[in-house]
Amino acid sequence: MIQSYRPETLKEALQIRNQIDCTVFAGGTDLYIRKRQWQGAERRFDNDLLFIHQLSELRKIEVSDEEIILGACVTQSEIEGDAYLPEFLRMPYRLMGNPAIRNTATVGGNIVNAAQVADSLPVLFALDSQVVLQSIHGERKMPTMDFVIGKYKTGIQTNEILTHVMIPKKNWTDFYYRKIGSRKQNILSKLSVIVLLEKKNDDLTNLAISIGCVNEKPIRDHEIEQGFLESGAINQLIDQLYDKMEGQNDKRSSKAYREITSLKLIKDYLEKNS
Amino acid sequence: MNIHDKINRVDGISKINGSAKYIEDIHLDEVFHARTLRSGIAKGRVKSIDYPVDYEDIIVVDSHDIHKNEVLMITTDMPVFTPSEVTYVGEPLSLILGKDKHRVIEFMNQIKIVYEEDEGIFAMDACTKAEDIFSEYVYEKGNIHELEYDEIFEKVYETGYQEQLYMEKQGMIASYDDHILTIQGSMQCPYYIKNALIHATGLPDHRIRVIQTTTGGAFGGKEEYPSLLACQLAAAAMKVRQTVSLIFDRREDILTTTKRHPSRTTIKSYLKDDKILGMDILYEIDGGSYRGLTDVVLQRGLLTLTGCYKIDHVQVKGKAYRTNNIFSGAFRGFGAPQSMFALEQHMNQLAKKFKEDPISYRRKYFVQQGDLSATSGVFHEKILLNQMADALIRLSEYDDLLAKKEKNMGIGVSFVPHGGGFTGDGEAAHIKAQVKLKKDTLNRVHLLVSTVEMGQGAKTVLSKIVASTLEIPIEQIVYDDPDTFKVPDSGPTVASRTTMVVGGLLYKAALELKPLMNNPAEIVITKNYVHPEEIVWNQKSLKGNAYLAYSWSAVVAVVYVDPITWEIDCQKLYGIYDVGVPVDEKTLLGQVHGGVAQGLGYGMMEKMESEQGILQHNSFSSYAVPVMADMPKMEVDWIFNPYREGPYGAKAAGELTLVGVAPAIAAAVEDATGFDLCRLPIMPEDLVKEAEK
């Protein structure tokens, strides 16, 4: 028999996490589906379960002049509906799944699950967000783009819980987000693209680009962006991004379609806006 | 009640408030849950199945437990359980029964199967031997071989699988009490199932009872396939003498039940002075490993292959192949969505070649009353294709659409026929429908038919026909879900025959009952199908009237193709339909909207591919059907063209509304992009490939 734990406080949760090899369960929209076996039969987990959805410490959205802090158990719907958050953050969440999924799926869950098609990762990569990982021994922070190692792989330790995501505030003046799927709503992405710009008096002063679903984890490269800020050479930027692509054909789309389309979207936007 | 009254669906409220019980909603205390053990390979033999021991609560049901190990469909080539020979991935080997689902799962996880695997056939091109061909037909009209032509315009068109994706999955419950075998479940054809059970169990007619339960969609997917499940469950219930339930999971349903036949159509048009002199057509479909209804699907695809057009010289060949792919079967349209896509795209490409407007170009070839069909049968009815074209031009403001067409926009049209009822003399030779109307002593009128409500509106339409004819309130009509102990065989709920054929018989029965309504006694009126004399068909030569009557559709689709992502947005869809006289306009509108959704999916979204016999798109997340946001703005209308034999002049409607959608969309995408598009579904991935050429 497996045990399930539903602690009242984060402190208690961290203690349980430290003592027991368990699966951390937030919204459950991925975990629960994966354990499906036969309709009407229970979904049986192999590991003990630690429920964290109820922890009030992890359910807050805090906005200050310096940063935005999202609790790991903030739901996607809450992001979607929070008018204090910038549109470039809300839009990717709004286009994920369907209302029922977004009502329970969490910010932290989408990161820790680290699916290739996780739509929150490109925007979190582009925003230079950091994840906060806590254990009974303390906390550590690392860039989300380093935390996610690959498809379903992250750097989380067995005694840690991802508690927050910190997004530094920058002066983005414009952004472009596009999610491509095989229908208009309620569909996993074939690819997604986010571009953020900061312009001062028509001069491009900062830029962030991230591309989702093409590789096992989203593409984000500061050096390429910096090069473009200096040179303004769009074709060179596109070529450099292309060199980072190592996708495969799968049942959702083709390598060629993902690569060509994501680069064309970026090129088209930059030609019109940079 | 008057036939022109606007009414709500008679089954609407129970489905909205949840009181309608689908098979999965029926909870029984003591029931064996059955799960199917399936082959993991596509072709070969099962050398041994090693079932775990010490599971006294688990029962295995296999080919040894059935009187005759054959599923009667049209032929009997499919076994209920394969004893050894495996022909496709997912072929049933046995049913595993248990009262505790977890014990069944545990048991199944330990089963070891040893196979001797052979190389399978997964492509039509690999079907080289005679045994790889299920059926082959050829028919001719005029003389294609001695034409004096300038050039041949030849194209090859292909279509992929499509999944019915009914909201309610396959499911059945069987019991065997007091020597009566009862099967309840989600189905289209109670009597197909009953006949299959008589064949497989050896039980006499009066000991088999089939009851339809509320059915949440079918689209052909519950035409022949449930016969297999019923035979399996019969074996199980008769073995354990208790109730056994078999309800599929979604993924299992997608992976192992019938799909629309993949097809390839080669059309050669012989041209002289820009005129089509003749067409030489080869239509090929992949039937999977068992015959099922493949032969009939092939025929429906073939027999109207010149569509709405009068072509004097025609040769049509059809071939259905046996492969080790998934079992292909019935699906709304039944062979016609494939062949009509090919023909319509061909007509578009000819119009493009001659730089003519696609509607004007088609008009030159429209068939008329008195013309000969592709199978040389006389079109007896009035054909209003020109009027439909005029109506479509008005409705869509076609000239304005063309004038205001912006970059990356495309406009496409299609004109298609669809035959109502069974092919050829099928209604008379095979189905022999019978209906009964019973007036009880409370003056309620019971519709006694085996026709099922499966979401399409049969209960509403048939009740309305009878209530209108009797001039009584529709509330006085009783139409229960069919139970073969209570209703005669009015035929299967397929082939767009429900309103036209079954409704026609009920109409005649109601006319006969009407003068007797004041009689206080219980009265039963019986009507048997009588074939119209002028409908003559020779099944051997495939000559004559292939269908009782044709319905027609004319569709304009407007698409926008994103120049960067190649995503297709079908923005508007206009349709004009000739279904005789619609007996219930709301129901017809529902059929149109559903047909557009399913046709849109078929045309530009629902990609389903098989690799080594295994379907790759096997879930809601990988197999994308349209959602509301994908639907175009729809404007539709119908013209009245009463059909003498139909109730109130009605003809077929159900399948027609799907058939013309994908061809119109394909034509529109072709118009927007300039590419020659010969394969459905049209995916952005394919357009990128075209653009990179």
The pLDDT score that the predictor gives to residue B22 is 97
Whether residues B548 and B404 fall in one domain: yes
Percentage of residues in chain A having pLDDT higher than 70? 100
Residue B322 counted as domain residue: yes
Answer whether residue B647 is part of any domain: yes
Same domain, B72 and B208: yes
- Residue in A40, A44, A182 closest to B624 by CB: A182
Residues of A whose CB is below 8 A from B567? 180
The nearest CA of chain A is from the CA of B465 a distance in Å of 39
Tell whether B320 is covered by a domain: yes
Could you give the CA distance from residue B95 to residue B227 in angstroms, rounded to a whole number?
15
Range of the domain at B574: 263-423+540-692
B249 to A254: CB separation less than 8 angstroms, yes or no: no
pLDDT at A42 over 90: no
Identify which of B337, B354, B361, B367 has the alpha carbon closest to the alpha carbon of residue B412: B361
Same domain, B580 and B660: yes
- Please give, rounded to a whole number of angstroms, the shortest distance from the CA of A132 to a CA of chain B: 31
Percentage helix, strand, coil, to 5, in chain A?
35, 30, 40
Q: Do both B606 and B546 map to the same domain?
A: yes
- Domain ends where: B500, B528, B556? B528
Quote the ipTM score. Answer: 0.95
* pLDDT, mean over chain B: 97
Please tell me whether the peptide bond between B681 and the residue prior to it is cis, using omega within 30 degrees of 0.
yes
How far apart CA B101 and CA B683 sit, in angstroms, is: 40
Residue B693 pLDDT greater than 90, yes or no: no
Interface of B with A in 100-129 (CB under 8 A): 101-102, 104-105
Q: Is residue B453 domain-resident?
A: yes
Cβ separation B684–A261 shorter than 8 A: yes
pLDDT of A40 reads: 86
Q: Which helix (H) or strand (E) holds A180?
A: strand A174-181
Final residue of a structural domain among B240, B256, B272: B256
Give the model's pLDDT for residue A49: 97
The burial of B405, by beta-carbon neighbours within 10 Å (0-12 exposed, 13-18 middle, 19 or more buried), is given as middle
pTM over 0.90: yes
pLDDT band at residue B171 using 50, 70 and 90 as cut-offs? very high
pLDDT band with cut points at 50, 70 and 90 for residue A270: very high
Q: Which of A34-43, A102-111, A179-188 has the lowest mean pLDDT?
A: A34-43
pLDDT band at residue A59 using 50, 70 and 90 as cut-offs:
very high
Q: Does B685 touch chain A (CB under 8 A)?
A: yes
pLDDT reading at A267 higher than 90: yes
Answer whether B598's CB lies under 8 Å from B613's CB.
no
Write down the pLDDT at residue B29: 86
Tell me: do B613 and B569 sit in the same domain. yes
Check CB contact of B403 with chain A, cutoff 8 Å. no
Shared-domain flag, residues B210 and B78: yes
Domain-located, residue B323 = yes
Any B CB within 8 A of A272 CB: no
Which positions ≥6 away from A225 have C-beta within 8 Å?
A207, A208, A209, A237
Rounded to an integer, what distance in angstroms lies between the CA atom of residue B170 and that of residue B17?
Answer: 22
B152 to A256, B148, B276: CA distances (angstroms): 35, 11, 10
Radius of gyration of chain A (CA): 19
**pLDDT for residue B663 is more than 90:** yes
Instruction: Give pLDDT, residue A265.
Output: 98
Residue B352 is which amino acid? K
Q: How far is B617 from chain A (nearest CA, A)?
A: 7
Phi, psi of A216 (to 5 degrees): -65, -30
A51, B9, B131, B134, B172 from B23: Cα distances, Å: 35, 21, 39, 35, 7
Q: Indicate if B196 and B317 belong to the same structural domain.
A: no
> Do B466 and B505 lie in a common domain?
yes
pLDDT greater than 90 at residue A274: no
Chain A contacts of B249, Cβ < 8 Å? Answer: 38-39
How far is Cα B253 from Cα A223, in angstroms, rounded to an integer?
49
Contact flag B624-A257 (C-beta cutoff 8 Å)? no
Same domain, B216 and B303: no
Q: Are B312 and B357 in a shared domain?
A: yes
- Beta-strand ranges (E) seen in B133-227 are 133-141, 151-159, 171-177, 180-185, 208-212
Q: Rounded to whole angstroms, how far apart are CA atoms B39 and B228?
A: 16
Residue B338 has pLDDT above 90, yes or no: yes
Residue B648's pLDDT is: 98
Does residue B639 lie within any of the structural domains? yes
Any domain includes B4: no
CATH of the domain at B522: 3.30.365.10
Residues on chain A touching B102 (C-beta within 8 angstroms): 41-42, 44
Question: Mutate which of B559, B688, B690, B692 to disrupt the A interface (most A C-beta within 10 Å)?
Answer: B688
- Measured distance CA(B265)–CA(B691) in Å, rounded: 24
Which pair of structure tokens corresponds to residue A69? 């802090």
Give A184's contacts in chain B (Cβ within 8 Å). Answer: 627, 629-630
**Average pLDDT for B65-89:** 97
Number of domains comprising chain B: 3
- Specify the pLDDT at position B595: 98
Structure tokens at B258: 């019938």
Residue with tokens 């820790």: A112
**A268 neighbourhood in chain B, CB within 8 Å:** 564
Residue A165 has pLDDT above 90, yes or no: yes
Out of B202, B221, B256, a domain closes at B256
Q: Are residues B572 and B487 in the same domain?
A: no
Report yes or no on B279 lying in a domain.
yes
Residues B614 and B652 placed together within one structural domain of the fold? yes
What residues of B are in contact with residue A266 (Cβ under 8 Å)?
Answer: none
Is-contact B509 B525, C-beta < 8 A? yes
pLDDT tens readout for residues B381-429: 999 999 999 999 999 999 999 999 999 999 999 999 999 999 988 999 9
User: Is the confidence at residue B579, as pLDDT, over 90?
Assistant: yes
**CB-CB: which of A38, A40, A183 is closest to B624?**
A183
In angstroms, the separation between the Cα of residue B629 and the nearest Cα of chain A is: 6
